[in-house]
């Protein structure tokens, strides 16, 4: 109660409510101002549950659930759309995240449809075939930035058309049987939850027990000046660089958020973006992505050739980042802190964002108070913290170049 | 100077589907010297969104200066305020975002800041627009930013096609000229004195609509700067005039594409407007739309929207990438098919999906504030999909297959068509 009052005094949202039982964590953020309700289910069935030979199997299994026929015979994804909602999933390094959203009064019905498919997916050749086609389609729809990110990721989350072709329905069934367990599962619901009850028991649709990672994982390629080059049918080059970065909850997390803001400002300056208004259509041309929710967290920066020949500007920016470890940053620390707060708050605006971030922060037994924890960690950053964290992480990045095909 | 605002609190119900949903708290009221506001607090939000929008012609009150509205808006954002910082500086110092935008008949100024910063942001925002005068320094900064934004717009397929189809369909009025011209010369041709005069007239409080959403509460309204008590009364919505329907044109542009435009009803015909929104969603929703699904394995990118302007509304369908003619054929066939009523079961599912996606469209503080501001500027605030009155949700619930088909027959059979052909960039 006291904590809630303190947050309100700061103008911050009340912290989500968390309960834990039988290895399942449930996080709730009721919001009377929203007409939407969203529920995110984290299952420990992500990339680390598949071996190298199984690239794409985690995504294929998740998609098979969405393609499972509901009552009436239509795939779950279509049934949920027809019932006034949406469902999707993301395959993360450790988890697959399903997200179901609808108008508050409809959410329980949508969750019931999802729970039925989650409990008993259809592994028939027809359903797995539809799922395979959908995963191939979604993995093929990548822009140049997506190609660069995939080059740095190493293993494409959705596999490739070739790797997916090898799987038969029994492979999908076996992956499901092994990885879709309630142990370590987390449900995070947000929005108009007043009449919604289904989220609390959603993870109960999973079999009890837990699974283990599928053996060795590859350490991320980082900090060693690797350069990866790909040529594609694009008009202008993309430059993407990746640094290792601290995970949320780390003592370095706040400083890295502040550094990410410094990185953004530097990139904007070298790309000569407008100075009055915030980025609009230039958003996709230059920027950074701080992925802090995974074991191998990272900071990715990118620059698109649409703003001119990007190589010199990019080189300049990387040099500036490296120098931060040895000298004070140029600019106001308070302004970079404010930008870091704004950037973080801006990334968690929607019901889906809120469900995701509360779930991330509640993993591993942590508090789901994402705004309070993050703002406090940003406020505590000192100039010495910035130098230390920059020195530790912003050294030599791994660089991916996506270049126009020669002679094309 | 600030004063406590006289608030008219409205408690309104929202009808969504068959089950009752709790009504979001919404307060409507008047600004101290004219204009109006709407407040939609959300204690769970991480950001506060402040949308200060104005009715103003994008090409000036004499119709002779395309781009002046955006140039003036940028100039006001760059003016140093009493504390020594401009609005742009202040928003940056708060960790927020400043987004300028507009349509032929309006200027939008959006500020989004982290929770806890709404009050300071609102003071700077209203001070910049209600009580400041652009000077030479601000004007110079605005010239550069406007030129960059204009060039970006030229290279954005959707926005470039939006501009050319409006220019083709609308014979006169601000819609005939681009909101953001794509060359620097267009802005330097507008002198500071014209910018100042425009700003004084357009950005007065009586001309404004302020939508506040997210991490805000009524107390922040004390931060509104009053501005000029003698400013003219609120302007009526600004319309452009349709030219002949069914024309075609080929234009050189920075991007290639094909765009279809159909004249629609005025916003006061809420039922027909909602039907056209439904059709756009049914055909062109990026993930579930009938046309989108038919073309998803091609390189074509198709978007379609009904633009709810005051009078007339316009349906615009933009096609870029891939085989333009193939995609255009799908679009024409889809509109033709809509002239026949959908089967009852398919219609019910599509309407339910539309009701959800409509609500999803204003589910963040920024999108809600924009939604509320747009419809207020167009003259029908209560019809905003996000308005707590539930007017729009009720309008969706009242749609039936026969009526939707009749709207398609009336408004979606005679397109105006513009083909954009990418030109080689000039050496300059």
Tell me, yes or no, whether A383 lies in a domain. Answer: yes
Distance of CA B259 to the CA centre of its chain: 19
The CATH number linked to A68 is 3.30.830.10
Out of A85, A103, A275, whose CB is closest to B21?
A103
What residue in B sits closest to A307 (Cα-Cα)? B152
* Confidence band of A304 (pLDDT split at 50, 70, 90): confident
Using alpha carbons, select from A361, A349, A107, A377 the residue that is nearest to residue B44.
Answer: A349
Using a CB-CB cut-off of 8 Å, the residues of chain A touching B18 are: 105
Domain borders along chain B are 7-223, 241-422
For B80-111, letters b (16+ CB in 10 Å) and e give ebeeeebbbbbbbbbbbbbbbbbbbbbbbbbb
The sign of the dihedral angle between the CA atoms of B102, B108, B109, B111 is negative
Q: Provide the angle, in degrees to the nearest 10, between the axes of the packed helices A253-270 and A333-346.
A: 100
Instruction: Kindly determine whether residue B356 and residue A276, on different chains, have CB atoms separated by under 8 Å.
Output: no
Beta-carbon pairs below 8 A across chains A and B = 187
CA distance B306 to B154: 22
CATH of domain B241-422: 3.30.830.10
CB–CB of A97/A59 below 8 Å? no
Is A349's Cβ below 8 Å from some Cβ in B?
yes
Torsion of Cα atoms, A221 then A222 then A226 then A231, to 10°: 70
Longest CA pairwise span in chain A (Å): 67
Reply yes or no on whether the pLDDT at B418 is more than 60.
Answer: yes
Using a CB-CB cut-off of 8 Å, the residues of chain B touching A137 are: 296-297
Distance of CA A50 to the CA centre of its chain: 19
The three-state (H, E, C) secondary structure of chain B, written as one string: CCCCCCEEEECCCEECCCCEECCCCEEEEECCCCCEEEEEECCCCCEEEEEEEEECCCCCCCCCCCCHHHHHHHHHHHCECCCCCEHHHHHHHCCCEEEEEEECCEEEEEEEEECCCHHHHHHHHHHHHHCCCCCHHHHHHHHHHHHHHHHHHHCCHHHHHHHHHHHHHEEECHHHCCCCCCCHHHHHCCCHHHHHHHHHHHCCHHHEEEEEEECCCHHHHHHCCCCCCCCCCCCCCCCCEECCCCCEEEEEECCCEEEEEEECCCCCCHHHHHHHHHHHHHHHCCCCCHHHHHCCCCCCEEEEEEECCCCCCEEEEEEECCCHHHHHHHHHHHHHHHCCCCCHHHHHHHHHHHHHHHHHCCCCHHHHHHHHHHHHHCCCHHHCCCCCCCHHHHHHHCCCHHHHHHHHHHHCCCCEEEEEEECCCCCC
**B window 377-416, beta carbon within 8 A of A:** none
CA distance A33 to B26: 9
H-helix or E-strand spanning residue A43: strand A36-43
- For an interface test with A, give the residue of B48, B78, B114 to mutate (most A CBs within 10 A): B114
- Region of poorest pLDDT, from A29-33, B1-5, B113-117, B314-318: B1-5
Instruction: Kindly determine whether residue B97 and residue A278, on different chains, have CB atoms separated by under 8 Å.
Output: yes
Residues A238 and A290 in one domain: yes
B15, HSE (Cβ side, Cα atoms, 13 Å) = 9
CA distances for B349 relative to B286, B345, B397, angstroms: 17, 6, 12
Instruction: Kindly determine whether residue B46 and residue A350, on different chains, have CB atoms separated by under 8 Å.
Output: no
Tell me, yes or no, whether A222 lies in a domain. Answer: no
Residues A201 and A243 in one domain: no
Q: Hey, do B7-223 and B241-422 end up sharing a CATH topology, with the first three levels equal? A: yes
Residues A232 and A201 in one domain: no
Using a CB-CB cut-off of 8 Å, the residues of chain A touching B19 are: 105-106, 195
- Region of poorest pLDDT, from A389-398, B42-51, B396-405: A389-398
Is B286's Cβ below 8 Å from some Cβ in A?
no
Range B406-415 average pLDDT: 97
Using a CB-CB cut-off of 8 Å, the residues of chain B touching A346 are: 46-47, 97, 112, 114
Is A106's Cβ below 8 Å from some Cβ in B?
yes
pTM for the whole thing? 0.92
* Confidence band of B23 (pLDDT split at 50, 70, 90): low
CA distance A85 to A36: 10
CA distance A68 to A73: 9
Q: How far apart are the first and last CA of chain B?
A: 49
Torsion of Cα atoms, B78 then B84 then B88 then B91, to 10°: -160
Residues A255 and A137 in one domain: no
Reply yes or no on whether the pLDDT at B109 is more than 70.
Answer: yes
CB–CB of A128/A166 below 8 Å? no
pLDDT tens-digit series, residues A356-391? 999 999 987 888 999 999 999 999 999 999 999 999
Give the β-pairing of A186-191 and A24-30: parallel
Instruction: Kindly determine whether residue A275 and residue B145, on different chains, have CB atoms separated by under 8 Å.
Output: yes
Is A133's Cβ below 8 Å from some Cβ in B?
no
The token duo for A401 is: 């170049």
pLDDT given at position A326: 78
pLDDT given at position B17: 39
pLDDT tens-digit series, residues A101-154? 999 999 999 999 999 999 999 999 999 999 999 999 887 656 667 777 777 776
CA distance B218 to B238: 30
Reply yes or no on whether the pLDDT at B323 is more than 90.
Answer: yes
pLDDT tens-digit series, residues A315-353? 888 888 878 777 777 778 999 999 999 999 999 999 999
Residues A302 and A160 in one domain: no
Q: Which residues pair with B170 in a beta bridge?
A: B242
Which residue carries 């990885």 as its tokens? Answer: A179
Tell me, yes or no, whether A238 lies in a domain. Answer: yes
pLDDT given at position A406: 64
pLDDT given at position A284: 58
pLDDT tens-digit series, residues A154-177? 667 778 888 899 999 999 999 999
Residues A166 and A288 in one domain: no
Higher pLDDT pick, B130 / B225: B130
CA distance B250 to B418: 6
Q: How far apart are the first and last CA of chain A?
A: 64
CB–CB of B59/B67 below 8 Å? yes
Residues A45 and A154 in one domain: yes
Reply yes or no on whether the pLDDT at A301 is more than 80.
Answer: yes
Residue B150 falls in which region: left (phi positive, over 0), alpha (psi -120 to 50) or beta: alpha
Range B340-355 average pLDDT: 97
Using a CB-CB cut-off of 8 Å, the residues of chain A touching B349 are: 81-83
Range A181-194 average pLDDT: 95
Residues A274 and A196 in one domain: no
Instruction: Kindly determine whether residue A277 and residue B149, on different chains, have CB atoms separated by under 8 Å.
Output: yes
Is A317's Cβ below 8 Å from some Cβ in B?
no
CA distance A269 to B162: 30
Using alpha carbons, select from A77, A63, A61, A235 the residue that is nearest to residue A137.
Answer: A63
Residues A300 and A163 in one domain: no
* Percent of chain A surpassing pLDDT 70: 87
**Omega before residue B335 within 30° of 0, cis:** no
Residues A123 and A59 in one domain: yes
Is A49's Cβ below 8 Å from some Cβ in B?
no
Instruction: Name the domain count of chain A.
Output: 2
CB–CB of B163/B179 below 8 Å? yes
The token duo for B337 is: 């098919």
CA distance B207 to B229: 12
Instruction: Kindly determine whether residue A103 and residue B40, on different chains, have CB atoms separated by under 8 Å.
Output: no
What was the ipTM of the complex prediction?
A: 0.90
**B window 137-196, beta carbon within 8 A of A:** 141-142, 144-145, 148-149, 152-153, 155-156, 159
The token duo for B32 is: 């101290």
**B window 30-49, beta carbon within 8 A of A:** 40-47
Tell me, yes or no, whether A258 lies in a domain. Answer: yes
- Specify whether domain B7-223 bears CATH 3.30.830.10: yes
Residues A82 and A40 in one domain: yes
Instruction: Kindly determine whether residue B92 and residue A335, on different chains, have CB atoms separated by under 8 Å.
Output: yes
Which residue carries 């200027």 as its tokens? Answer: B107
pLDDT given at position A224: 52
Q: Give the domain extent around A77.
A: 15-205
Give the β-pairing of A398-404 and B26-30: unpaired
Residues A307 and A351 in one domain: yes
Q: What is the DSSP string of A339-373?
A: HHHHHHHHTT-SHHHHHHHHHHHHGGG----HHHH
Tell me, yes or no, whether A218 lies in a domain. Answer: no
Our CA-based measurement puts residue B265 at a distance from the nearest CA of chain A, in whole angstroms, of 27
CB–CB of A311/A278 below 8 Å? no
CA distance A71 to A274: 53
- Region of poorest pLDDT, from A219-233, B339-353, B381-395: A219-233
Tell me, yes or no, whether A58 lies in a domain. Answer: yes
pLDDT given at position A286: 78
Is B120's Cβ below 8 Å from some Cβ in A?
no
């Amino acid at each position: 109660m006291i904590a809630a009052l303190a947050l309100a005094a700061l103008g911050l949202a009340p912290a989500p409510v968390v309960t834990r039982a039988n290895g399942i964590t449930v996080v709730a953020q009721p919001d009377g101002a929203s007409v939407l309700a969203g529920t995110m289910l984290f299952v420990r069935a992500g990339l680390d549950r598949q071996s190298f030979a199984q690239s794409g199997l985690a995504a294929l299994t998740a998609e098979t659930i969405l393609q499972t026929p509901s009552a009436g015979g239509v795939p779950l994804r279509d049934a949920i759309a027809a019932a006034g909602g949406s469902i999707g999933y993301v395959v993360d390094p450790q988890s697959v995240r399903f997200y179901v959203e609808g108008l508050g009064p409809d959410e329980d019905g949508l969750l019931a449809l999802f729970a039925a498919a989650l409990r008993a997916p259809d592994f028939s050749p027809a359903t797995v075939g539809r799922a395979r086609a959908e995963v191939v389609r979604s993995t093929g729809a990548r822009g140049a930035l997506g190609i660069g990110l995939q080059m740095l990721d190493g293993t494409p989350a959705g596999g490739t058309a070739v790797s997916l072709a090898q799987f038969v329905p029994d492979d999908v069934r076996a992956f499901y049987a092994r990885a879709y367990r309630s142990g370590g599962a987390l449900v995070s619901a947000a929005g108009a939850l007043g009449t919604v009850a289904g989220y609390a028991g959603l993870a109960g649709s999973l079999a009890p027990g837990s699974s283990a990672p599928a053996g060795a994982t590859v350490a991320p390629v980082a900090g060693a000046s690797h350069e990866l080059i790909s040529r594609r049918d694009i008009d202008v080059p993309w430059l993407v660089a990746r640094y290792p970065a601290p995970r949320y909850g780390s003592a370095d997390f706040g400083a890295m958020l502040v550094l990410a803001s410094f990185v953004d400002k530097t990139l904007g300056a070298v790309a000569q973006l407008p100075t009055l208004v915030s980025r609009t259509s230039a958003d996709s041309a230059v920027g950074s992505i701080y992925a802090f929710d995974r074991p191998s967290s990272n900071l990715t920066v990118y620059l698109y050739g649409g703003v001119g020949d990007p190589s010199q500007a990019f080189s300049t920016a990387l040099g500036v980042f490296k120098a931060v470890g040895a000298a004070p940053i140029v600019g106001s620390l308070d302004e970079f802190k404010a930008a870091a707060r704004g950037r973080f708050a801006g990334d968690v605006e929607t019901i889906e964002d809120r469900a995701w971030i509360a779930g991330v922060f509640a993993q591993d037994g942590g508090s789901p108070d994402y705004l309070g924890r993050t703002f406090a960690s940003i406020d505590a950053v000192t100039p010495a913290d910035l130098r230390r964290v920059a020195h530790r992480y912003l050294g030599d990045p791994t660089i991916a170049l996506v270049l126009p095909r020669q002679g094309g | 100077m600030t004063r406590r605002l006289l608030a008219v609190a409205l408690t309104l119900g929202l009808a969504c589907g068959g089950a009752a949903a709790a009504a979001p708290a919404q307060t409507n009221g008047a600004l101290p010297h004219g204009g109006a506001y709407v407040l939609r607090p959300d204690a769970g939000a991480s950001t506060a969104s402040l949308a200060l929008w104005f009715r103003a012609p994008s090409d000036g009150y004499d119709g002779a200066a395309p781009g002046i509205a955006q140039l003036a808006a940028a100039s006001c954002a760059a003016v140093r305020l009493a504390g020594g910082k401009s609005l742009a500086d202040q928003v940056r110092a708060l960790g927020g975002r400043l987004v300028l935008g507009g349509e032929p008949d309006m200027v939008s100024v959006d500020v989004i800041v982290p929770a806890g910063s709404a009050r300071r942001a609102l003071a700077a925002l209203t001070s910049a627009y209600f009580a400041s005068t652009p000077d030479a320094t601000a004007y110079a900064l605005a010239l550069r930013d406007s030129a960059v934004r204009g060039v970006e717009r030229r290279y954005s397929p959707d926005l470039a096609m939006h501009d050319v189809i409006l220019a083709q369909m609308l014979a006169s009025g601000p819609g005939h000229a681009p909101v953001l011209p794509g060359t620097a010369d267009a802005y330097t041709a507008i002198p500071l004195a014209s910018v100042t005069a425009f700003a004084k007239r357009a950005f007065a409080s009586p001309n404004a609509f302020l939508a506040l959403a997210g991490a805000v509460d009524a107390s922040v309204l004390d931060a509104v700067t009053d501005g000029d008590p003698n400013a003219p009364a609120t302007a009526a919505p600004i319309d452009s005039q349709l030219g002949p329907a069914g024309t075609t044109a080929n234009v050189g542009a920075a991007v290639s594409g094909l765009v279809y435009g159909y004249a629609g009803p005025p916003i006061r015909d809420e039922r027909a407007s909602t039907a056209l929104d439904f059709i756009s969603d049914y055909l062109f929703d990026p993930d579930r739309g009938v046309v989108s699904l038919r073309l998803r394995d091609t390189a074509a990118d198709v978007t379609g929207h009904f633009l709810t302007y005051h009078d007339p509304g316009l349906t615009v369908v933009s096609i870029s990438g891939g085989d333009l003619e193939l995609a255009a054929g799908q679009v024409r066939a889809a509109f033709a098919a809509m002239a026949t009523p959908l089967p009852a079961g398919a219609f019910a599912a599509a309407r339910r999906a539309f009701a959800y996606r409509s609500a999803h469209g204003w589910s963040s503080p920024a999108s809600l504030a924009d939604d509320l501001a747009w419809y207020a500027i167009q003259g029908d605030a209560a019809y905003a999909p996000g308005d707590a009155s539930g007017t729009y949700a009720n309008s969706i619930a009242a749609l039936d297959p026969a009526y939707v088909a009749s709207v398609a027959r009336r408004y979606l059979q005679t397109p105006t068509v513009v083909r954009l052909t990418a030109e080689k960039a000039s050496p300059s």
